[in-house]
Structure 1
Amino acid sequence: MVQVVAQVGHVREANGPRRPPAGPVGRAPYASRVLLADPGSALRDAVSVVALVGLLVVAFRHPRGRTEALAGIVAAAAVLLIGAVGVDAAADQVERMLPVVLFLAAVLVVAEACAAEGVFDAVGDAVRRAGRGDAHRVLLVTFLAASVITAALSLDATVVLLTPVVAAAVAGSAAQRPVVHSCVRLANSASLLLPVSNLTNLLALPDVALSFGGWLLVMAPVWVVVIAVEYAGVRLFFARDLRAAVPAPDRTLVHLPAFPVVVVVAMLAGFAVGSTYGVEPFWVAGAAALVLGARSVRAGHFTAARALHATHLTFGVFVLCLGVVVAALDGSFLRDVVGDALPGGDGLAALLVLALVATVLANLVNNLPATLLLVPLVAPLGTTAVLATLVGLNVGSGLAWPGSLANLLWRRALVRRGVPVSSATFHAHAALVTPVALVAGVVTLWAVS
């Protein structure tokens, strides 16, 4: 599997300690230690924090790809120039994260090729037809589709490709609100099932003593319970909208193309088989992207330029630079605060605390940098502790806009298509469902582990 070692604690070791050891009378407060031993350390921490905040602002605004990549490069250069992280350590961090970024680029091509082949149009048509004018049936089919697509093609496919299709399927009806909000909730919550469903899972994978199949067996019950809670939450919160009528389906039937579905199924099987032999997922996803992309180009459904654009290479550069900035934060006050908040052991109470800490950190600094900071600290507690942390990083990241890039991409996808998005509705729905889904998921994980 992916040999991405997201243990930024080891990165700091390559640069030498930044803090003096505690004296015989005890460990002084962090601020006192750095000011007495190394006044420049406070400056390095400040620059690292500003760089991280700047990157989060860029992620929220989501400018053009070149601007996004440039912002990442500037932030990474700043922490390098100030000495917050060494060149060798930064290069090591990039090398460790590169397979995850390559996987993301490949799976985005697979998802875009599926869209070009008409897979998502067929799903949208199936949602409309299965509903037969009943908003509750439309919602149920949307849940099934979003859960499967998130697990198989990652959360980006759900928020960027599926959401506009299902929004169009129920356009003109009040049922559009619960349908589109289901997509963003499931983009986060339904990404628990497989190691490849979310970048957070891939970054944490080296610290989980499970194979691809083992992960599936442990997390499947958690996935089912969390999705059930999400479904009940949508039914409750949007009860009035779900009483609205849904437009009747068109007479023209949109067929689900077989070839891309077969390629995606083969890709998932390849992940499972490849993990047995140490084949990293980006090789399998890259092969699927090559096969499906070449076939789509030959059939005239796809172009090489569209395939290149689908990789979002500039975003990959942004993610790598974000990793460098997070590596610079290791050993700072932020790591102290997070480390002090973590419990010991892996009992139910400890697992709930881990999920809570992960949720808070994800919604403060986004779940991607939160994963890089938190997982190395939790890893010594064992596999169950890391998985509980991922419940917080994935399910909990749906609590506020900054929690997950999926939230921001979903918002942008709808706004660009003229679909109204209410921050009040998003956060009220999240506040109702997230705590229940979080607790239910952790309790289920504890029970099956």
Structure 2
Amino acid sequence: MIGGFLAVVGIVAAFLGILTPDALVALLDRVAPVLGFVVGLTIVADLSAEAGLFSWLAGVAARFSLGRVWVLWLLVVVLALLCTVFLSLDTTAVLLTPVVVLVARRVGASPLPFALTTVWLANCASLFLPVSNLTNLLAVHALGSPAPLTYAALVLPAAVVCALVPVVAVGIRYRHELAARFPAASVEAAPDRTLFLVSAIVVVLLVPALVSGVEVWIPAAIGAAVLVVAFAIKRRSALRIGLVPWGTLLFAAGLFLVVAAAQALGLAQLIGSAVGTGTSFGDLLRLSGGAALSANVVNNLPAYLALEPVGGSSVRIIAILIGVNVGCIVTPWASLATLLWHGRLQALDVHVPWGRYALAGLGLVVVMLPLSILLLSLAP
């Protein structure tokens, strides 16, 4: 509903001439590959989950955790990191959340440390590669379209800090729960070995393909096509119209249109006066803090698009990314991944009070933003 409303506002802006035809074409040229990547990767992730790949990975983690909850938790940390970095934060929120909750219940452990680890790493570990977050894919244009590994080198120190802080926080807060033990668990076989193998091969090949420098929508589309063909042959019932994330597409398209219209009306000048123009530690922290505040007021996607024109340099663009990616863990609507995560938890009857979640997220942001910006400002 929100996406539809935003899309209507954007269409009205186009009819009124606020968004010119040239501006619309430029916007489409920029966001179409991003949305194409979202569609392709969502189909890959959903069909891989249908084939039992993610459940098998979680089962392997339980099997090799030696009956210790803290070892299982660390394996979940690794799985969440890999999933977020290479398959995007939304994939982690949508697919990994129910898997880790069910595995935690299977071994008699509290699901809360596993659930919080998943959502915090989904957001905070989404700096590493362009494919890790939609905001990163948008920022690649402003950064001069660097190769994925070149981009990773730019953000690496800040990204490492932002991934470590939530892990340390969960480890300290839930140290007693994580110290428990459980009987050895077995790994369940995949329901269809052929589909499982095809899904595993597609996901494994996607990892190098997404960091190869090829436009990311291309390997995502190829992987999706391969899995669609495999499921059409083996399990046609799994192919449904809902595999395409229509709601996400409408929401993102509406946001892009509205922010583009706001930019045409002078939003950049208004924001620029609030976040400054320098590159010192104080200037970058002010910019990143403003980005975090904007993300929590609206959402991290429009917050990035609104702030990008006041970037002006690679270091300032990265500061904006740190703010919108890492700072969006306070309010539930700041990140689409957080809303998707909460929806999965509700379906599993796991309740996380928003007030407690917001306070914990605020505490993490207060620690992560200054540390990551300090490393960014000290980088050569």
- Kindly tell me: are residues 302 and 103 of structure 1, through their superposed partners in 2, closer, same or farther at Cα, counting changes over 3 Å? farther
The answer as to whether partners of 1:189 and 1:226 remain within 8 angstroms in 2 is: yes
CA distance in 1, matches of 2:297, 2:267: 12
Alpha-carbon shift at residue 159 of structure 1 (Å): 0.6
Structure 1 position 391 matched with structure 2 position 322:
yes
Alpha-carbon shift at residue 445 of structure 1 (Å): 2.9
- Counterpart in the other structure of 1:180: 115
CA distance in 2, matches of 1:118, 1:301: 16
Superimposed CA distance per residue, residues 410-447 of structure 1 (whole angstroms, 9 cap, x where no aligned partner)? 11111122222211231122122122122222223334
Structure 1 position 322 matched with structure 2 position 255:
yes
- Counterpart in the other structure of 1:339: 272
Alignment of 1:228-239 (within 5 A): 228-239=164-175
Which of the two has higher C-alpha Rg?
A: 1
Structure 1 position 419 matched with structure 2 position 353:
no
- Counterpart in the other structure of 2:206: 267
Alpha-carbon shift at residue 125 of structure 1 (Å): 1.0
Q: Percent of aligned pairs with the same residue?
A: 29
Q: TM-score, normalised by structure 1?
A: 0.76
Alignment of 1:240-279 (within 5 A): 240-243=176-179, 245=180, 247-254=182-189, 257-273=196-212, 275=213, 279=214
CA distance in 1, matches of 2:257, 2:163: 34
Q: Could you tell me which runs of 5 or more consecutive residues in structure 1 were left unpaired when the two chains were aligned.
A: 1-57, 60-67
Alpha-carbon shift at residue 202 of structure 1 (Å): 0.6
Alignment of 1:6-405 (within 5 A): 58=1, 68=3, 70-81=4-15, 83-171=17-105, 173=108, 175-209=110-144, 210-243=146-179, 245=180, 247-254=182-189, 257-273=196-212, 275=213, 279-300=214-235, 303-305=238-240, 308-332=241-265, 334-378=267-311, 380=312, 382-405=313-336
- Kindly tell me: are residues 421 and 358 of structure 1, through their superposed partners in 2, closer, same or farther at Cα, counting changes over 3 Å? same
Helix, strand or coil at the partner of 2:211: helix
Superimposed CA distance per residue, residues 221-259 of structure 1 (whole angstroms, 9 cap, x where no aligned partner)? 33322222111111223334434x465354344479554
Q: Cα RMSD over matched residues?
A: 2.5
- Counterpart in the other structure of 1:63: none
Helix, strand or coil at the partner of 1:192: coil
User: Which amino acid letter does the alignment assign opposite residue 337 of structure 2?
Assistant: A
- Counterpart in the other structure of 1:52: none
Q: TM-score, normalised by structure 2?
A: 0.89
CA distance in 1, matches of 2:169, 2:82: 19
Aligned pair count reads 374
Helix, strand or coil at the partner of 2:278: coil
User: Which amino acid letter does the alignment assign opposite residue 389 of structure 1?
Assistant: I
CA distance in 1, matches of 2:251, 2:356: 30
Q: 1:443 aligns with which of 364, 374, 377?
A: 374
Alpha-carbon shift at residue 337 of structure 1 (Å): 3.6
The answer as to whether partners of 2:63 and 2:187 remain within 8 angstroms in 1 is: no
CA distance in 1, matches of 2:34, 2:176: 42
The answer as to whether partners of 1:134 and 1:246 remain within 8 angstroms in 2 is: yes
Once structures 1 and 2 are overlaid, which stretch shifts more, 286-295 or 83-92? 83-92
The answer as to whether partners of 1:128 and 1:248 remain within 8 angstroms in 2 is: no
User: Which amino acid letter does the alignment assign opposite residue 344 of structure 1?
Assistant: T
CA distance in 1, matches of 2:120, 2:69: 18
- Kindly tell me: are residues 386 and 293 of structure 1, through their superposed partners in 2, closer, same or farther at Cα, counting changes over 3 Å? same
- Kindly tell me: are residues 302 and 148 of structure 1, through their superposed partners in 2, closer, same or farther at Cα, counting changes over 3 Å? farther
The answer as to whether partners of 2:6 and 2:257 remain within 8 angstroms in 1 is: no
Structure 1 position 408 matched with structure 2 position 343:
no
CA distance in 2, matches of 1:144, 1:237: 19
Alpha-carbon shift at residue 114 of structure 1 (Å): 1.6
Superimposed CA distance per residue, residues 116-148 of structure 1 (whole angstroms, 9 cap, x where no aligned partner)? 221110122133223344332222111110010
- Counterpart in the other structure of 1:3: none
Helix, strand or coil at the partner of 1:420: coil
The answer as to whether partners of 1:355 and 1:388 remain within 8 angstroms in 2 is: yes
The answer as to whether partners of 1:114 and 1:120 remain within 8 angstroms in 2 is: yes
The answer as to whether partners of 1:127 and 1:169 remain within 8 angstroms in 2 is: no
